[in-house]
Amino acid sequence: QVQLVESGGGSVQAGGSLTLSCEASGFTYGTYCMAWFRHVPGKEREGVAGIDTDGTTNYAASVKGRFTISKDKAKNTLYLQMNSLKPEDTAMYYCAAEVALPCTAVAGFQDYAIDYWGKGALVTISS
C-alpha cells in the first residue's frame, strides 16, 4: 500500500525558509515521478515543483529560483526547500506521486492524473 506522509510545515515570517519532507512507503522514489502541489481554499490546486525518475526538475514560474525539489532515494524521502518565502506562498502543500512514465502529470502539473497524494502540510507565511 502506497503512503505519502508530509512533514515540516509551519509558520514563518516573509523572507524566511522552510523545508518540507515527504516520506514514502510502499514504493521507491527511483520508480515514480514526484511533485509538490499547493492549495489555498477558494483557489485551484497548483503545481509547485516536480522531479522525474532521472532527477530532471520543473518548477512553477512563481517559485522558480526560490524553491528546490530533491529526493533522497536511500531514505525514500522527497524534499521541498523553500527560501525567500512570501505571504502568497501560504497554502496547504501536498506531496504527489505519478506511477507511469513519461510522467506527464508531474511535468505538466496535471493534478487530475496524479496517482497518489499525501494528506498535506500547512505552510503559513506572515508579512
Cα–Cα dist 2/111, whole Å: 17
Cα–Cα dist 82/113, whole Å: 25
**H helix runs in 47-118, sequence order:** 104-108
Cα–Cα dist 13/33, whole Å: 31
Q: What is the pLDDT along the chain (127 residues), one digit of tens a residue?
A: 899 999 999 999 999 999 999 999 987 767 889 999 999 999 999 999 999 988 999 999 999 999 999 999 889 999 999 999 999 999 999 999 998 778 888 889 999 999 999 999 999 999 9
Cα–Cα dist 122/93, whole Å: 6
The whole-number pLDDT of residue 102 equals: 84
Would you say 23 and 8 are in contact if contact means Cβ atoms under 8 Å apart?
no
